[in-house]
Structure formats: C-alpha cells, structure tokens
Amino acid sequence: MRALSSRVLASLLSGWRDSASAPAYIALADRIRLLILDGRIPIGTRLPAERDLAAQLGISRTTVSACYTRLRRSGFLDSLRGSGSLARLPDRAPLPVERTMADHLDFSKAAVTALPGIAEAAQRAVAELPSHLGGTGFDPVGLPALRVALADRYTARGLRTEPGQIMVTIGAQHAIALLSRALLARGDSALVESPSYPHAYEALALAGARPVPVNVTTDDGWDEAGLEQALRRTSPALAYLMPDFHNPTGMSMTAALKERMLGLALAQGTTVVADETMAELAIDEHDRPLPLAAFGPAVLIGSVGKTVWGGLRIGWIRAERPLIQRLARIRSAGDLGTPVVEQLLVKNLIDGYDSILELRRGQLRAGRDHLERVLTEAFPEWIVPRPAGGLTTWVNLGAPISSQLTLAARGEGLLLAAGPRFGIDGAFERFLRIPFSYSAEETDRAVAALSAAMASLARGPLLDQSFLAEVV
C-alpha cells in the first residue's frame, strides 16, 4: 500500500490557503479532494495521520480532523482500522437530468477530434489484414511496412533514418514508460522541464527516478543557465524534454540551444529523450522544425494521438539500433506487441501526413485565435500567451487561484486540469492550461463556465459541492 508522508502532502498543498476565504478545514478538504480527482494523490494511497499533517502544516489537529471527516462524508476517504485514511473516489450517484455527464465539457485533455475519413481508413486496414494472418501477430518492434514509412518520413524531415531505428509502441505514453524502464535505475537523476506533461513525471517516478527540474516560461522559454547547471552538476541518466511546442507553454527551443544542450548532455553521459508528439503542429510557421536528433544524439518519441486521433493508440521510438534491440528484449514484461490493424491504418495515413497537418494547422489557428479573443474579453486581467504551435495556452491568472478555480469550474460543468498538475510539489497555482483544440461553440461554453466560476469565487468560500462526488 502506498503511503503519503506529511512532508510530501504538505508540498502538494502549497498555497492551499492563499486565496481561500472559507474556513481552514473546508479549504484544506477542497484542495485534497482536487488532488485526488486529478490523480496527484492516487486512489488507495494512505494519507498521513491527523497529528502528523497538523504539525507539518502548522495548524490544529482539530482542523485536520474536521477536514478528514468532510472528505469521508463526501466519499473521498475510507478510514480502515489499522490502515489509516485511504484516498478513494465516491461511488457514482444518479445524476440530475439537468446535470448529466454529457453536459460537462472536458477541457482537461489537450486533444483533437478524429480526423475526417478515419473510419474509411480503418476499413482499408481491415481489408489488408488477411495478408498478415499467417504470422503470430506478436511483434515487439512493429510491422515492417509501418517502420519503413516512419523511417522515410524522418528522412524526408532532414534526419536520415533506417527502419531498424524504429520501434512501434502503443502510444507515446507507452514509449515514455518503456524508455524510463530501460534507461533508469532506481535513484538515478532525471532532468525534466517544469511545468511538463504530468504522465511523464509519473512514468519516471515509477522507474525510481529523482527529478531535476528546469524552468520553462512563456516569457523566456527555457532557463538556459539552469539547464546547463542541472546537466553539469547532476549528470542525469536521462533528460525528458519537449523542445518543440512544449506542453503546456507552447514554447520551442532555438536551434542554438538544441545544439548546446545536446553537446552538454553528451559530455555528461545523459540520454536525451525528446517527446515530439507536438513537434509538427506548427500554427504560424509552415517550416516544420527538424527532429531534435538532427542536432545531436537524442532518442525521439512520436505518435498520431495529437494529429490523427487520441483513440488511435500508435506511437513510436526513434533511436539507435542497440537501444531498439534492448527495448525489444525488455518490452515483454509489459506487453507483447502493438495491434496490427491500427498499425496498418497508420501506415496508410503516413503518405498523406502533410495534408493532415495542413488541415490541423488551420483548425488550431482558428481555435487559438478564438480562445485568445474570448479569454481577453472575459478576463482582461489575465495574461493569455499566443503560442506558435501545439494545442494549449498556459494562462497566467495573476493570482494563486488555479486549484480553487478548477474546483469551482466543475460546478459549472467544465473539467480542467489545475496548474499544479503540471508541476512538481504543488507549483503553478497562478497558471491554468487551456486547450484551443475544441470548436468555437465548445470554447465559448468553457469561457462562460470560467466566468461563472470566477464569480462564485468572488462571492466567497466554496460550499460543500456534492456534485464533485458525481464527476469521476
């Protein structure tokens, strides 16, 4: 059973009272509830004892006791004799007609709707399937035809690649987890950006890595001095980076920084893993960036989840042959291969990938411009960046209210990921990631919900919002 120490929980709760006018026990319960809802406290985790948490936070034990009681009554904690208080999600309750799950907009995901024609592409893939039925279907590296197509695409983008340098995975997250297992030993340092993709943090943590964060901001991009210092002083075994259209800030490294960073990493023995799932989603520039490995040694991760459809779970790793062979040997501990039909589907789409990107570029440009306009009109005090690519904008709220606003937005039918979801130890309460990959109508609904949520915060403390038990 996983246990959360009072010190670690206190770091996740950083700033829990900064913007709350509610009684302390309510504010504390609301923040812990959000941590459970968005996965920062995994289900089944044992929370610290009341006395320990009270001492760590510098509050009375009575306050923590009232907080835990509130969470138990709303279904977010189980108290078991001998096991303490365990995080849980409430049982689903019947939803009122006016508040069904279909009414909730899920802006917690940076995703696109399915590519037009994907059903027809699937039918073509099924028609090809009989020619592949003579084998076992278990292939740890992927169908040869798809690996050829992906290698040819890298070569066309300016990075000479052979099929033997490609492994097909079950999406990008699978690739991150597999590389973490292969390249990290428990206790190794792993350089990560802050903020960053939260599920990458989780994969690195499961491999036993100690994170070494480097700041990325919408004003200046990467903290170059901090990046150099982190590489030189800690010699991390692995560096997980998103150098093009970084999630969530939308920033991109300059070519000079890429070259310098890769040179430093090589000197320190650090394997750089570049998540390029957003790399070809340029909005304003038609010149697509070179893959990071064109500037020096790097392992690349790609997928079609952000361009074709998230339901198509196909990703890939581009690396030197010895690492691909090593990954193939250890992969069987987690899975035995990637589904054949989905690989055939992607293989048939790769030839027309530039047309797919052009379509997405137009959709994202319209979505970004519309979101920027309506957010600026509704919240003139917020700082809304204008990213040149990717799927999201990293909005500065001007006050540490991200978690409170996220909770209030749920009451208005809008699901968001609070800013601290993208940081380590509770940072980024002043920020909110908002995707612009949704339709104008959905975006307008989301901004209206945000306006109502902000109004509810201005009126006073959040009340006991029992609907939170329904949104699981």
What pLDDT sits at residue 460? 59
Q: Confidence class of residue 57 from pLDDT cuts 50, 70 and 90?
A: very high
Angstrom distances, CA of residue 468 to CA of 67, 94, 402, 463: 16, 13, 17, 11
| Mean pLDDT of the 385-407 span | 93
Q: What is the pLDDT of residues 180-227, one digit of tens each?
A: 999 999 999 999 999 999 999 999 999 999 999 999 999 999 999 999
Query: Angle at which helices 144-156 and 340-350 pack, to 10 degrees?
Result: 30
Q: Confidence class of residue 143 from pLDDT cuts 50, 70 and 90?
A: very high
Q: What is the pLDDT of residues 323-370, one digit of tens each?
A: 999 999 999 988 999 999 999 999 999 989 999 999 999 999 999 999
Rounded to 10 degrees, the C-alpha dihedral 404/384/427/89 comes to: 40
Buried residues in 176-187 as b, exposed as e (16+ CB within 10 A): bbbbbbbbbeee
Residue type present at position 458: A
Q: What is the pLDDT of residues 65-74, one digit of tens each?
A: 999 999 999 8
Q: What is the pLDDT of residues 147-158, one digit of tens each?
A: 999 999 999 999
Residue type present at position 427: A
Evaluate if residue 471 carries a pLDDT over 50. no
What pLDDT sits at residue 203? 96
Q: Is-cis flag, bond preceding 195, omega within 30? A: yes
Cβ contacts of 62 within 8 Å, gap of 6 or more: none
Name 222's bridge partners. Answer: 216
| Mean pLDDT of the 78-100 span | 66
Average pLDDT, the chain: 90
Evaluate if residue 2 carries a pLDDT over 90. no
**Smallest Cα–Cα separation from 253: which of 214, 213, 301, 307?**
214
As a whole number of angstroms, the distance between CA 213 and CA 210 comes to 10
Evaluate if residue 92 carries a pLDDT over 70. no
- Give the range among 196-200, 370-374, 421-425 with minimum mean pLDDT: 421-425
425 exposed, middle or buried (CB, 10 Å; 0-12, 13-18, 19+)? middle
As a whole number of angstroms, the distance between CA 373 and CA 369 comes to 6
What phi and psi values does residue 214 have, to the nearest 5 degrees?
A: -125, 130
Domains of the chain and any CATH numbers: 6-87 (1.10.10.10), 97-107+355-469 (3.90.1150.10), 118-351 (3.40.640.10)
| Percentage, residues of the chain above pLDDT 70 | 92
Residue type present at position 307: T
What pLDDT sits at residue 38? 67
What pLDDT sits at residue 467? 31
Angstrom distances, CA of residue 159 to CA of 164, 287, 319: 14, 15, 12
